[in-house]
Amino acid sequence: MKPFEIFCACPPGLEQYLEAEALEAGFKGATAVPGGVQFAGLWPNVMRANLTLRGASRILARFANFRCFNLSQLEKQTRDIDWHSVLRSDIPVRVDVTTRKSKVYHAGAAKERIEKAIAERLGASIASEDAVKIMVRIEDNMCTFSIDTSGAPLHQRGHKEAVGKAPMRESLASLFLRASGYDGTEPVLDPMCGSGTFVLEAAEIAQGLLPGRTRSFAFEQLASFMPDRWADLRSAKLTNDITTRFYGSDRNHGAIQNATANAQRAGLSDLCTFTCASISDLQRPDSPAGLVILNPPYGARIGDKKQLFALYASLGKTLNDRFKGWRVAIITTDTGLAHTTNLAFSDTSAPIPHGGLKVRLHQTKALM
Ligand SMILES: C[S@@+](CC[C@H](N)C(=O)[O-])C[C@H]1O[C@@H](n2cnc3c(N)ncnc32)[C@H](O)[C@@H]1O
């Protein structure tokens, strides 16, 4: 098989950090494009991207494309794809189609023709749930077939079962850590840690644990799956012996219980300390200076605003008074709230989508 395009999706605005991660991980030619990063590769690269890339939300294999100008052409060329080399006849397939600026403009009709061709050529049943997902994009009369090789989104590492109301997705947390200059060698502290996402991601990065080490992936259900190769990739020992430690605190006792249980499941209990404390009681840990990173609450309701201004002011006072030498990264929807901290931000990112809202990363240099 010839190399095909592998697309690693991530939130718009953070592509450059995923590109850096992919290049570091050895994916040659990885290039940032809107909404993700792409490079050419084969199925082993697809497996490794799913296993190793912390910042990707899913990995698509763009395994076929052709020009088409009408539905009959679409059906014929779909039939000509070597489906048996990609899909298994015993696993149901789901097809999603989008069309834009093309002669084939009716997505529903295109979907019907594609499903018919796949069913006839392969013998697989067509399903709407619990199936391998084929995404077809028809744009400017070019038809591109992708498989979602991840299945459940990649932020679901399989360790963080216990979460509170507004958890940060692990993939997003890892990109924010990278955007904040974290390279795995310094302590990280989140004083409003909730389920512990930033702390656990930072500890995993430092220790060299692979994000997909325990979960399963959609590519395991493809005809192209190579079980021996996969077993080798997954069992590769890359872990570092580290002395760096990671700290989380939160005023909510339930959040601390959750974070502690999540650390245990991820095998990170020895590296992480979680403490129940309100921000005003937060103490500097007995460690070298590092990175404080957090997403404080950012309520949308007007009545919450007054309390939030007090909370951000208290956060800023604690950090300015007790965390000299540490850098601070705050992710919030409201730049006004961020500035209430009175922290000297040196950089504010463009808005990044998160949970239906837009957030920005506000960063300081080492506090003086
Ligand atoms: C948006 S959540 C953080 C989510 C977290 N990053 C995660 O991934 O689960 C904000 C957290 O701030 C905590 N919090 C609110 N006020 C606090 C305070 N005064 N001191 C410490 N923690 C506080 C809440 O209990 C909540 O867990």
Please provide the DSSP assignment of 208-247 as one string: T--TTSS---GGGGSTT--HHHHHHHHH---PPP----EE
- End-to-end, the C-alpha distance of the chain in Å comes to 57
Q: How far is the CA of 193 from the centre of ligand 1 (A)?
A: 6
Supply the residue whose CA is at minimum distance from atom 5 of ligand 1. Answer: 194
Q: Are residues 9 and 144 in the same domain?
A: yes
Q: How far is the CA of 155 from the centre of ligand 1 (A)?
A: 20
Q: How far is the CA of 316 from the centre of ligand 1 (A)?
A: 15
Which of 199, 189, 197 has the alpha carbon at shortest distance from 171? Answer: 197
Q: Of how many residues is the chain composed?
A: 368
**Per-residue model confidence as pLDDT tens for the chain (368 residues):** 789 999 999 999 999 999 999 999 999 999 999 999 999 999 999 999 999 999 999 999 999 999 999 999 999 999 999 999 999 999 999 999 999 999 999 999 999 999 999 999 999 899 888 789 999 999 999 999 999 999 999 999 988 776 767 789 999 999 999 999 999 999 999 999 999 999 999 999 999 999 999 999 999 999 999 999 999 999 887 778 899 999 999 999 999 999 999 999 999 999 999 999 999 999 999 999 999 999 999 876 555 788 999 999 999 999 999 999 999 999 999 999 999 999 999 999 999 988 888 999 999 999 99
Q: Are residues 118 and 205 in the same domain?
A: no
Ligand 1 within 6 A of CB of 194: yes
CATH number at residue 342: 3.40.50.150
Q: Is residue 254 part of a domain?
A: yes
**d(C-alpha 89, C-alpha 308), whole Å:** 55
Supply the residue whose CA is at minimum distance from atom 7 of ligand 1. Answer: 167
Q: What is the pLDDT of residues 49-103, one digit of tens each?
A: 999 999 999 999 999 999 999 999 999 999 999 999 999 999 999 999 999 999 9
Q: Is residue 165 part of a domain?
A: no
Q: How far is the CA of 192 from the centre of ligand 1 (A)?
A: 4
Determine the pLDDT at residue 302.
Answer: 53
Q: Are residues 138 and 186 in the same domain?
A: no
Determine the pLDDT at residue 355.
Answer: 81
**d(C-alpha 192, C-alpha 196), whole Å:** 9
Q: Are residues 313 and 198 in the same domain?
A: yes
Q: Are residues 96 and 228 in the same domain?
A: no
Point out the domain boundary residue: 117, 148, 179: 148
**d(C-alpha 202, C-alpha 290), whole Å:** 11
Q: Are residues 110 and 192 in the same domain?
A: no
CB 272 within 8 A of CB 209: no
CATH number at residue 107: 3.30.2130.30
Determine the pLDDT at residue 363.
Answer: 98
Q: How far is the CA of 342 from the centre of ligand 1 (A)?
A: 19
Determine the pLDDT at residue 300.
Answer: 62
For residue 226 the two structure tokens come to: 């190579």
Q: Is residue 159 part of a domain?
A: no
**d(C-alpha 80, C-alpha 93), whole Å:** 17
For residue 182 the two structure tokens come to: 């974290």
Ligand 1 within 6 A of CB of 122: no
- What's phi and psi for 58, nearest 5 deg? -165, 160
Ligand 1 within 6 A of CB of 318: no
**d(C-alpha 30, C-alpha 42), whole Å:** 14
CB 127 within 8 A of CB 91: no
Ligand 1 within 6 A of CB of 167: yes
What is the torsional sign of CA 231, 94, 60, 122? Answer: positive
**d(C-alpha 1, C-alpha 235), whole Å:** 26
Q: Is residue 274 part of a domain?
A: yes
Q: Are residues 144 and 176 in the same domain?
A: no
- Strand-pairing partners, residue 179, are none
Q: Which amino acid is at 353?
A: P
Q: Is residue 253 part of a domain?
A: yes
Q: How far is the CA of 259 from the centre of ligand 1 (A)?
A: 12
Q: Are residues 193 and 276 in the same domain?
A: yes
Q: Are residues 174 and 313 in the same domain?
A: yes
Query: What is the chain's alpha carbon radius of gyration, rounded to the nearest angstrom?
Result: 23
**d(C-alpha 157, C-alpha 115), whole Å:** 32
Distances (CA, A) of 80 to 2, 77, 121: 16, 5, 9
Which of 271, 273, 162 has the alpha carbon at shortest distance from 208? Answer: 271
* Number of domains forming the structure of the chain: 2
What is the torsional sign of CA 327, 171, 312, 262? Answer: negative
Supply the residue whose CA is at minimum distance from atom 16 of ligand 1. Answer: 251
Ligand 1 within 6 A of CB of 202: no
> Ligand 1: which atom is nearest the Cα of residue 314?
19
> Ligand 1: which atom is nearest the Cα of residue 258?
9
Q: Is residue 222 part of a domain?
A: yes
Range of the domain at 112: 4-148
Q: Are residues 89 and 41 in the same domain?
A: yes
Q: Are residues 281 and 329 in the same domain?
A: yes
For residue 121 the two structure tokens come to: 């050529």
Q: Is residue 258 part of a domain?
A: yes
Could you tell which of 251, 275, 283 is best to mutate to test the pocket of ligand 1, judged by most ligand atoms within 8 Å of the CB?
251
Q: Is residue 193 part of a domain?
A: yes
pTM, entire model? 0.95
Q: Are residues 203 and 341 in the same domain?
A: yes
